[in-house]
Amino acid sequence: MNNNDIIIIGGGLGGLTTGALLAKEGRKVTILEKNNIVGGGLQNFTRKGILFDTGMHMLGGFRPGQTLYRICQHLGIMQKLKLQRVDSDCMDEIYYASNHTIYRVAEGKAGFVESFATHFPHQRAQLQRYVDAIYELADEIDLFNLRPTGDGIPLHSERFMWSADEFIAHYIDDEQLRDVLAYMNPMYGGVSGHTPAYVHALISALYINGTDRFVGGSQQLATALAEVIEHAGGEVVGGAEVIRIAVDNRTVTQVQTKDGRSFSAPYYIAATHMGETLRLIDKGAFTPAYTKRISNTENSYSIFSLYVKLKPETFSYINHTCYYQHDYNQVWNLGQYHREDWPYGMMYMTPPNEQQNEWATHLIINCVMPFSAVEQWQDTQTGRRGEAYAQWKAWHEQRIIDRMEEVKPGFTQCIDHVWSASPLTVRDYYHAPQGAIYGFVKDCHNPLATQIPVATKVSNLFLTGQCVGLHGICGVPLSAITTAEALVGKNKIIEQLQNTAPK
Ligand SMILES: Cc1cc2nc3c(=O)[nH]c(=O)nc-3n(C[C@H](O)[C@H](O)[C@H](O)COP(=O)(O)OP(=O)(O)OC[C@H]3O[C@@H](n4cnc5c(N)ncnc54)[C@H](O)[C@@H]3O)c2cc1C
């Protein structure tokens, strides 16, 4: 192969990590990102002097020896990142409004078990077996543990592909505890009876092992990854929206951008949502069966986010993530929308800044929402969605504020200003169909439909990003390794990660 040129469409976590790994292997990479600033879910924005994160609030895998730590160390960027550990004795706080119960969840296996055993002492032994099972499932995945993969089809235990709720119920008798243990659902887009147990296990293990936050915004990771690419002679081009992937005889010949430029290279990687990739690529490039399969794959739910600038010294900085559940038996219904009941749950956090003191400057509140809630405005454009939409948005902002009042009486008085983003914002900002926050739904009944190989039938086109594997700070970089290795050789990067980083 020509070692020098790879074009990556999309400069989110997937495109940038794949690009940085390839740059480290000596490849010259060009990233084409439609937004002016790269980062996708890592991007920050500023309003009234406050820096807000868009799609990356909670980090796992960054403790010494863990997956992300080793990847970033391999890329030489670990020391550039400013991270803060959340409270070890309370990484997450879950509040159930229906009975005013607060569960404070400590990190580490023992701490996790103890946190729930305090409320459910009769379930202590079951909790221990449940957490052991989570770690056993996580250990089944070579990539998650940065182990080389063999050539055969990976063999997994039967419970690997149980549904997540079935998995929890297998170990835990108590109905309430089952519900509480699924509290990380918004972190993986859980759907009852469909989300595989391994997804629940990986995300749970990731955060139980230690949760961190970016200090001063997640953009720093995008910047650090871009620097690796540029340092190796590559280029990161913002404001370069790809409008066509031209294919001739099952080979990409060039990509064209909205501003009339064209770029060509021996190899191409699509790091966009797969729906966007299908939209861009010449018709007939993929087989009809493949196109149909991708088009019919269900997207994960979307989100409504409230960004709050707080009045000075009114709201305490909270060094952990807070979850709000309106009632029990709703955690698996988060993806449903009934206006009168919405939201069933919320997550809120006070991201730390460089001069963090006891007071929070801002708050981000995320509430799961399906795209159907905004479907009637799907043909409108940002800033021109009309008065009915503005009213709809204002109603939902107020609903969230009302819920926050339940948890923190007097909250309204702390607000300086609010902004919000709906599933339409998410769709348009990332070019993610239906505003899907985690790519495709992972389905234990149809695993093949939701695991997309990184190589395609178009000989020089590869895929990366959250649609091909797992989402988030852990899943996307792991798929980046698979994609980069498709170009540089199987296990080549994994073996280096094993040799150069502490285990
Ligand atoms: C509100 C929210 C909160 C989240 N919180 C967390 C969290 O706390 N922890 C966590 O681990 N994960 C979190 N996630 C998930 C995480 O953000 C994603 O899994 C991850 O960022 C996906 O990376 P990606 O590169 O696959 O996709 P993206 O970040 O979407 O990157 C795709 C990029 O492609 C660009 N693009 C699209 N079309 C084109 C085109 N035609 N031409 C050029 N460029 C194009 C987009 O602009 C984008 O930059 C959250 C997501 C959201 C939305």
Q: What is the mean pLDDT of residues 105-122?
A: 98
Check residue 2 and give its pLDDT.
Answer: 39
- pLDDT bracket for residue 446 (50, 70, 90): confident
Check residue 386 and give its pLDDT.
Answer: 96
The Cα–Cα gap between 67 and 478 comes to 9
Which value does ipTM take for this structure? 0.99
Task: Give every strand in the sheet of 302-310, ordered side by side.
Answer: 101-105, 92-96, 321-325, 345-349, 362-369, 302-310, 415-421
Q: What is the mean pLDDT of residues 348-373?
A: 97
Contact 9 CB / ligand 1 (< 6 Å): yes
| pLDDT surpassing 50 at residue 263 | yes
**Of the candidates 66, 29, 24, the residue with the CA atom closest to the CA atom of residue 462:** 29
Which atom, in ligand 1's list, is nearest to the CA of 432?
30
The Cα–Cα gap between 238 and 320 comes to 33
Q: What is the mean pLDDT of residues 453-472?
A: 96
DSSP assigned state of 333: G
Which atom, in ligand 1's list, is nearest to the CA of 366?
1
Nearest CA to ligand 1 atom 47: 430
Please name every residue paired with 211 in a beta bridge, in sequence order, or none if there are none. 60
- pLDDT bracket for residue 4 (50, 70, 90): low
Q: Which CATH number fits domain 6-42+70-84+215-297+445-500: 3.40.50.970, 3.50.50.60, 3.40.605.10, 1.10.10.60?
A: 3.50.50.60
Binding residues for FAD: 242
Contact 58 CB / ligand 1 (< 6 Å): yes
Task: Give me the chain's average pLDDT, please.
Answer: 95
| pLDDT surpassing 80 at residue 154 | no
Check residue 451 and give its pLDDT.
Answer: 77
Give residue-wise pLDDT tens across range 114-131.
Answer: 999 999 999 999 999 999
Q: What is the mean pLDDT of residues 368-396?
A: 96
Question: What proportions of the chain, in percent to the nearest 5, are helix, strand and coil?
Answer: 40, 20, 40
| pLDDT surpassing 60 at residue 3 | no
Check residue 502 and give its pLDDT.
Answer: 57
CB-based contact 12:39 (threshold 8 Å) = yes
Nearest CA to ligand 1 atom 50: 55
- Tokens at 332, concatenated: 């698996």
| pLDDT surpassing 80 at residue 153 | no
Question: 307 phi and psi, to 5 degrees?
Answer: -110, 120
Mutate to test the pocket of ligand 1, among 471, 478, 479, 481 (most ligand atoms within 8 A of CB): 471
**Is the CATH code 1.20.120 the one for domain 105-209?**
no
Chain centre distance of CA 183: 16
Check residue 326 and give its pLDDT.
Answer: 94
**Of the candidates 186, 83, 173, 163, the residue with the CA atom closest to the CA atom of residue 126:** 173
Check residue 501 and give its pLDDT.
Answer: 54
| pLDDT surpassing 80 at residue 101 | yes
Least confident of 47-51, 384-388, 499-503: 499-503
Let me know if the fold of 6-42+70-84+215-297+445-500 is the same as that of 105-209: no
- pLDDT bracket for residue 1 (50, 70, 90): very low
Give distance in angstroms: CA of 453 to centre of ligand 1: 19
The Cα–Cα gap between 273 and 259 comes to 21
| pLDDT surpassing 80 at residue 450 | no
Residues above pLDDT 70, as percent of the chain: 98
Q: What is the mean pLDDT of residues 210-239?
A: 98
- pLDDT bracket for residue 499 (50, 70, 90): confident
Please name every residue paired with 415 in a beta bridge, in sequence order, or none if there are none. 310
CB-based contact 446:436 (threshold 8 Å) = no
Nearest CA to ligand 1 atom 36: 10
Q: What is the mean pLDDT of residues 394-416?
A: 97
Domain boundaries, the chain: 6-42+70-84+215-297+445-500, 105-209, 301-434
**Of the candidates 449, 440, 445, the residue with the CA atom closest to the CA atom of residue 293:** 449
Nearest CA to ligand 1 atom 7: 56
Check residue 234 and give its pLDDT.
Answer: 97
Give distance in angstroms: CA of 40 to centre of ligand 1: 5
